[in-house]
Amino acid sequence: MTESMLQYSDVEQAAARLAGAAHRTPVLTSATADARTGARLFFKCENYQRMGAFKFRGAFNAIARFTDAQRAAGVLTFSSGNHAQAIALSARLAGIRATIIMPNDAPALKVQATKEYGGEVIFYDRYTENREEIANRLAAERGMTLIPPYDHPDVICGQGTAARELFEDVGPLDILLVPLGGGGLLAGSALAASGLSPDCKVIGVEPEAGNDGQQSLRKGEIVHIGVPKTIADGAMVTHVGEHNFEVIRRRVDDIVTVTDAQLVETMKFFAERMKMVVEPTGCLGAAAALCGVVPVAGKRVGVLISGGNVDLSRFGELVA
């Protein structure tokens, strides 16, 4: 499968593989959020997905397509957190081995959960070492299949099933706001929109400290930056993926940025008003609507809440 062939039907096939394995997460609304923005907001709550983030969808979909030979050797990946847990859990469900290469400063909760799901964790230094190099070497040595966190067709199509469910549940939308790191969720969501709500504007939202996606969309080619310093640990990537950009450049309307302060404000809003714990990265899309970054008044707006995995002590520090 090549990237240019990715289309809505691939997301449908992923949805069939995920049926019965992934939760169909709730879509919540908030009268307060609607009053504040003048929009009708629909929050797709992937913080309630298995292992606490949408990443279960892509990981499970990718592993579900393994051949017997691939299953026998196991799966390997690199991740700063949620994809690690997603691969570890999906591998356990499939009954295969998983090795995960994680930065040594990954949130403790995410490291612990990955180990609890039975994944073997190998640490590296994200500021001095190249994780893809380490991953490729280990994969070759062990014969394991590398499933990267975003730059993979099966991962993209799995992630797209969240937006697919949202459109199925609430119908066509005017705008869809999607957190953006490496672009798995954004590319998959754009494919879902192309099939179910073709007039919907799909907008990626990334941290201001790491606007490589925005630069890439404007330039028409993938722009690389240094590791961004942001509280959005799930979006600390240096560039979007190639398979991802191929979809993003064709199907995404805009990419905007929000500040860490806006993410904190949004975390507080979710905790106080909607009684929800959302991790900083999970707030990217919502912050764009709630903090006025994207004009949404009068529109029907989908907001992907991508995850809820944050250490409670860290959560306390941030919202204090």
Could you give the residue numbers annotated as active site?
55, 80, 206, 210, 212, 306
Question: Considering only residues 234-273, where is the footprint of ligand PLP by CB under 6 A?
Answer: 234-235
**Over the range 32-53, which residues count as b (16 or more CB within 10 Å of their CB) and which as e?**
ebeebbebbbbbbbbbbbbbbb
Nearest distance in Å: CB 9, ligand PLP: 21
- Give the contacts of 15 (CB within 8 A, at least 6 positions apart): 161, 164, 165
Q: Which of 74, 181, 210, 302 binds ligand PLP (CB under 6 A)?
A: 181
Q: Which of 119, 148, 160, 184 binds ligand PLP (CB under 6 A)?
A: 184
Residue 239 is given by DSSP the state: S
Rounded CA separation 111/102 (Å):
8
Is 53 one of the binding residues for ligand PLP (CB under 6 A)? yes
Pairing of strands 40-45, 300-305: parallel
3-state DSSP call for residue 112? Answer: helix
Residue nearest to ligand PLP (CB): 307
Binding residues for ligand PLP, total number by CB under 6 A: 21
Per-residue contact track with ligand PLP, 7 to 46, x per CB under 6 A? ----------------------------------------
Residue the block writes with tokens 């797209």: 160
Nearest distance in Å: CB 215, ligand PLP: 15
Is 176 one of the binding residues for ligand PLP (CB under 6 A)? no
Query: Are 286 and 178 a contacting pair, CB within 8 Å?
Result: no
Length reported for the chain:
320
Of 109-117, 131-139, 261-269, 275-283: span binding ligand PLP (CB under 6 A):
275-283
Is 282 one of the binding residues for ligand PLP (CB under 6 A)? yes
Show the tokens assigned to 23: 């939760």
SS (H, E, C) 224-235: CCCCCCCCCHHH
Q: Which of 55, 57, 97, 300 binds ligand PLP (CB under 6 A)?
A: 55
Is 186 one of the binding residues for ligand PLP (CB under 6 A)? yes
Is 281 one of the binding residues for ligand PLP (CB under 6 A)? yes
Q: Which of 25, 49, 82, 197 binds ligand PLP (CB under 6 A)?
A: 82
Query: Are 257 and 240 a contacting pair, CB within 8 Å?
Result: no
Per-residue contact track with ligand PLP, 150 to 169, x per CB under 6 A? x--------x----------
- Give the contacts of 196 (CB within 8 A, at least 6 positions apart): 8, 164, 167, 168, 172
Q: Which is nearer to ligand PLP, 197 or 309 (CB)?
A: 309
Query: Are 186 and 284 a contacting pair, CB within 8 Å?
Result: no
Of 23-31, 97-105, 175-183, 293-301: span binding ligand PLP (CB under 6 A):
175-183
Residue ranges in contact with ligand PLP by CB under 6 A:
53, 55, 82, 149-150, 159, 179-186, 234-235, 279, 281-282, 306-307
